[in-house]
Structure 1
Amino acid sequence: MTRCFLPALLLCIGLSGVAQKRIVVYQSDFGLKDGAVSEMKGVAMGVSPDLKLFDVTHEIPAYNIWEAAYRLQQTVPYWPAGTVFVSVVDPGVGTSRKSVVLLTKTGQYIVTPDNGTLTLIAESLGIAAIREIDEAVNRRQDSKKSYTFHGRDVYSYTGARLAAGVISFEQVGPMLPKQEVVSIAYQHAVMEGTVIRGTIPVLDVQFGNVWTNIPGELFRQLGVKFGETIEVRVLHGGREVYRGDMPYSATFGAVDPGKPLAYLNSLLQLSFALNQGNFAAKHGIGSGGDWTVEVRKKS
């Protein structure tokens, strides 16, 4: 019997493949207009009707690998060790991109194409191990003639088998070097003198708020208090899209309707909004690795 000692107990449990919780959580860019998501879940139920199936979202913009990466970073930490995530945003389906299962250092599994989807979760939670899916074993029976729906035939099938304990993590396939995980380049949050630079990883799509990757603890180094003003500059591919001043506020209601404010979002990252308005739409702001933001305290 393998012997595990704290603080390596969780890692040992995860690597030995006995930490599954029979939970599978899906995300994709498929939408819900057709049967694609239902097909994936049907395959999972065929593996084991005892599985519990949930969703992150199926409204990732088509082909947007970056947003898939962000939604994993946003949600995975809140699920228990042993949870299996199946993330399918796969514009390269059927090509030479690898199909993998990543085990985070906190014990969650992510089944996905290795196309950049793992960029942020690898940084925030860390990689305990990563394995390439052996499709000779971990592929839905009689599906080899289908080249365009690996989400159903490979990823959901493998994720369900892993979550149900039909296979262990070791049986997913061969181990891959951690440093070879495909990564998307972006502006990390940094402080340079009196300016903090970061990126806009995602928009709060329901309300049009602009979320940055600048953590609250870094922003506080500017010495800005509630009610004080900051200068904000947003660039897309190096071209200025927005420049303006706004107060740093605890809540939206701290400013009049239609007025801008800076605040910390639910992930405690600096964000910009219009009270009861759509900041992103008004100023033509998007998200992704090519969007950057600069913030300084108003002198």
Structure 2
Amino acid sequence: MRPIVLATDYGTSGAYVGQLKSAIYTVAPGATIIDLTHELPEFNPRASAYLLASFLEYVPPESVIVGVVDPGVGSARLPVVLEGDGYAFTGPDNGLFSIVSRKLSKARWSEILLSSEPASNTFHGHDIFAPVAAKIASGLTPRLAPVPAEDRTGIQWPDDLHEIVLVDHFGNGVTGIRYRLSDQDRILKVHGEEIRYAQAFHCVGPGESLWYGNSNGLIEVAVREGSAAERFNLGVGEPVDFGAED
């Protein structure tokens, strides 16, 4: 059976994650479930799309990923499956899978054809995406219909998003900009403040700021032994950009 990976904005304080897993185990009692994250930016599939794409290398081969950041749940947006390179993703067609689809060769999109049993208007993760993922992981074939890639939400979004897409537990600000060696001499500007590159935290003194390429391949803003979010008033959606070279 293929592993099932969960990536949502549900948080962990309520019952939502447990209910999601229950829906999977009902279809696939022997499933292996990995909680990748339940702290994607809430209500924000655009920011979450860049994070999800950056996490792919940490996901086991052949995984089925349930992705849920779905502020439009219950609307006319399609429930979809994205497949490619041995991976499968189930979730809403709201741009959440748009960036990761660019990493897949021969990416294939399908609409999930709903059964006659009514789904709730507020919890498609439990009612649709988790059961479909469990079927795929078990080698079963859910009812799908191919849909064109060019019509998917987010297909026009840039490859790099010059914004903060996550503020983590340490107060670091993760951007949607891919890290490149050629950018090391450039100054990152946040709220008019200039932040210079450092390879790692030990390269600057306590309380000093830096930007670096994180383990997911994205540019991240930090303060050694402090909070960049507090220092620079960072939040999801805050613009960041490169200024002149140092």
TM (norm. structure 2) is 0.89
Q: Could you say which residue in structure 1 is the equivalent of 2:183?
A: 219
- State the Cα distance separating 1:116 from its structure 2 match: 1.3
Q: Could you say which residue in structure 2 is the equivalent of 1:158?
A: 132
Q: Could you say which residue in structure 1 is the equivalent of 2:199?
A: 250
3-state DSSP of counterpart to 1:294: strand
3-state DSSP of counterpart to 1:112: strand
Separation of aligned partners in 2, 1:175 and 1:185: 20
CA contact (8 A) 1:256 1:275 kept: yes
- State the Cα distance separating 1:268 from its structure 2 match: 3.7
3-state DSSP of counterpart to 1:256: coil
Q: Could you say which residue in structure 1 is the equivalent of 2:244?
A: 296
Given candidates 151, 154, 167, the residue that maps to 1:180 is: 151
Q: Is the aligned partner of 1:125 residue 2:142?
A: no
Q: Could you say which residue in structure 2 is the equivalent of 1:203?
A: 166
Question: Which amino acid letter does the alignment assign opposite residue 92 of structure 1?
Answer: G
Question: Which amino acid letter does the alignment assign opposite residue 49 of structure 1?
Answer: P
Question: Which amino acid letter does the alignment assign opposite residue 183 of structure 1?
Answer: G
Segments of 5+ residues of structure 1 without an aligned counterpart are: 1-20, 190-197, 225-229, 235-240
Q: Could you say which residue in structure 2 is the equivalent of 1:52?
A: 32
Separation of aligned partners in 2, 1:88 and 1:245: 33
Question: Which amino acid letter does the alignment assign opposite residue 138 of structure 2?
Answer: A
- State the Cα distance separating 1:186 from its structure 2 match: 5.2
Q: Could you say which residue in structure 1 is the equivalent of 2:188?
A: 232
- How many percent of aligned residue pairs carry the same amino acid? 30
Q: How many residue pairs were aligned? A: 245
Separation of aligned partners in 2, 1:186 and 1:129: 18
Distance 1:72 1:268, change over 3 A: closer
Q: Is the aligned partner of 1:68 residue 2:68?
A: no
Q: Could you say which residue in structure 1 is the equivalent of 2:230?
A: 281
Q: Is the aligned partner of 1:134 residue 2:113?
A: yes
Separation of aligned partners in 2, 1:279 and 1:185: 30
3-state DSSP of counterpart to 2:18: helix
Question: Which amino acid letter does the alignment assign opposite residue 281 of structure 1?
Answer: E
CA contact (8 A) 1:207 1:278 kept: yes
Q: Is the aligned partner of 1:93 residue 2:73?
A: yes
Distance 1:158 1:214, change over 3 A: closer
CA contact (8 A) 2:164 2:174 kept: yes
Separation of aligned partners in 2, 1:266 and 1:215: 10
Distance 1:295 1:267, change over 3 A: farther
3-state DSSP of counterpart to 1:119: coil
Distance 1:43 1:271, change over 3 A: closer
Segments of 5+ residues of structure 2 without an aligned counterpart are: none
Q: Could you say which residue in structure 2 is the equivalent of 1:103?
A: 83
TM (norm. structure 1) is 0.74
Equivalent residues in 2 for 1:23-34, closer than 5 Å: 23-34=3-14
The RMSD of aligned alpha carbons is 2.3
Separation of aligned partners in 2, 1:160 and 1:87: 13
Separation of aligned partners in 1, 2:100 and 2:10: 21
Separation of aligned partners in 2, 1:41 and 1:147: 19
- State the Cα distance separating 1:92 from its structure 2 match: 1.0
